[in-house]
């Protein structure tokens, strides 16, 4: 899909935006993670952000086990972690509290998560158009970052406000 | 054979997976159960507040919908094939079609293809109206026949 034409309602790029106080930004991102009830239920916490990439931690918890013999985390917990981290990377790019919703998410499970170790997800919104954000994400144990547990690619719809006369579909 | 293996075999022999579901902590965490209605096996995720992703709508967390689809797909891959261990997920692609409202969510999974090692599964999730699915998934699992 082609880029949306530049407009005054279009996204601010990271370069155009005013400098953001890192402490304020950290506080905003911490709050954004904790604002979501399911993130809290999973014990997710904001770890940090660097160059547009955001990292979120999922602590190991017995209640998240998917296989009681191997004690490996269920894929669903990894899915929730990666979905949440991908969504936050879009907020980081937008620099505005615009609602975003997952359109699709593909997760490849490269290896089972190691029991008793936290899983971190690091996501980057590498392309933002007027309507759609494209995100990639990696999940790993902080003790062995390069030995990835899972990778994901997602697309998110960005629900910007529209002028009243643009509410109708533009095609046909 | 492990105790889990016994539970898996009992579930396959009896067609009743309630004990197997209870054995898996994460499924209890998201309120997942299996229901058989009119001979059809459905996954169910009972609504609870901790499943919410967006409190202002409110809407279910995408991860929980993905987990419901994945879990339902796992049981289809386990119970409708010769698999004797819990299938290992290789990849899943989830399309989110509508936001999930704060009510019970159901899912149905179907085997697309079963090979000796690989099972392809599709799954669909809905809430009150099955004709208006909220998400669909394609998943691939590895199964290890004994």
**Token pair belonging to A70:** 């191997």
Q: How far apart are CA B136 and CA A61, in angstroms?
A: 28
Using a CB-CB cut-off of 8 Å, the residues of chain A touching B26 are 63-66, 73-74, 76-77
pLDDT < 50 stretches in chain A: 1-15, 164-166, 172
| CA B87/CA A8 separation, integer angstroms | 51
Which pLDDT score, from 0 to 100, does residue A4 have? 44
Burial of B38 (0-12, 13-18, 19+ CB in 10 A): exposed
Write down the pLDDT at residue A107: 98
- ipTM value for the complex: 0.92
Cα angle A79, A83, A87 (rounded to 5 degrees) comes to 170
pLDDT-based confidence at residue B16 (cuts at 50, 70, 90): confident
pLDDT in tens, B18-40: 888 999 999 999 999 999 888 89
pLDDT at A1: 40
pLDDT computed for residue B65 by the predictor: 98
pLDDT digits (tens, 9 = 90+) for B127-139: 999 999 999 999 9
CA distances from B66 to A9, A62, A74, B136 (A): 33, 20, 11, 9
Phi and psi dihedrals of A52, rounded to 5?
A: 85, -5
Residue among A64, A87, A108 whose CB faces B26 most closely: A64
Residue A96 pLDDT: 80
Those residues of chain B whose CB sits closer than 8 Å to some CB in chain A are 2, 4, 23-30, 49-55, 59-64, 66-68, 70-71, 86, 88-96, 99
**B128 φ, ψ (degrees, to nearest 5):** -65, -35
pLDDT, tens digit, for every residue of B76-118?
A: 998 888 777 889 999 999 999 999 999 999 999 999 999 889 9
Please tell me the predicted confidence (pLDDT) of residue B83: 79
**Predicted pLDDT of residue B14:** 80
Listing DSSP states for A8-72 in one string gives TTSPPPTTTSPP--HHHHHHHHHHHHHHSHHHHHHT-EEEEEETTEEEEEE---GGGEEETTTTE
Mean pLDDT of chain B: 92
Residue A19 has what pLDDT?
Answer: 66
Closest of B22, B23, B29, B17 to residue B4, by C-alpha:
B23
């Amino acid at each position: 899909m082609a880029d949306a034409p530049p407009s005054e309602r279009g996204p601010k790029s990271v370069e155009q935006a005013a400098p953001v106080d890192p402490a304020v930004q950290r506080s905003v991102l911490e709050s954004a993670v904790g604002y979501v009830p399911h993130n809290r239920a999973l014990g997710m916490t904001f770890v940090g952000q660097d160059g547009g990439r955001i990292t979120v931690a999922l602590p190991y918890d017995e209640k998240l086990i998917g296989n009681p013999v191997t004690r490996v985390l269920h894929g669903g917990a990894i899915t929730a972690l990666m979905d949440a981290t991908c969504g936050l990377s879009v907020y980081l790019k937008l620099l505005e509290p615009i609602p975003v919703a997952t359109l699709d998410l593909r997760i490849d499970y490269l290896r089972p998560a190691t029991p008793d170790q936290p899983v971190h997800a690091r996501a980057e919104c590498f392309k933002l158009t007027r309507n759609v954000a494209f995100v990639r994400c990696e999940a790993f144990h902080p003790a062995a970052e390069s030995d990835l547990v899972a990778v994901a690619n997602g697309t998110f719809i960005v629900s910007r406000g529209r002028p009243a006369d643009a509410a109708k579909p533009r095609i046909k | 054979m492990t105790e889990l293996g016994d539970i898996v075999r009992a579930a396959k022999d009896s067609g009743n997976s309630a004990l197997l579901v209870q054995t898996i902590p994460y499924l209890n965490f998201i309120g997942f159960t299996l229901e058989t209605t009119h001979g059809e096996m459905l996954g169910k995720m009972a609504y609870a507040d901790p499943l919410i992703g967006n409190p202002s709508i409110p809407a279910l967390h995408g991860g929980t919908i993905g987990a419901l689809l994945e879990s339902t797909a796992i049981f289809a891959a386990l119970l409708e094939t010769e698999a004797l261990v819990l299938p290992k997920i290789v990849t899943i692609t989830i399309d989110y079609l509508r936001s999930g409202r704060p009510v019970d969510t159901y899912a149905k999974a179907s085997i697309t293809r079963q090979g000796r090692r690989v099972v392809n599964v599709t799954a669909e999730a809905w809430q009150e109206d099955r004709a208006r699915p909220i998400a669909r998934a394609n998943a691939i699992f590895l199964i290890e026949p004994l």
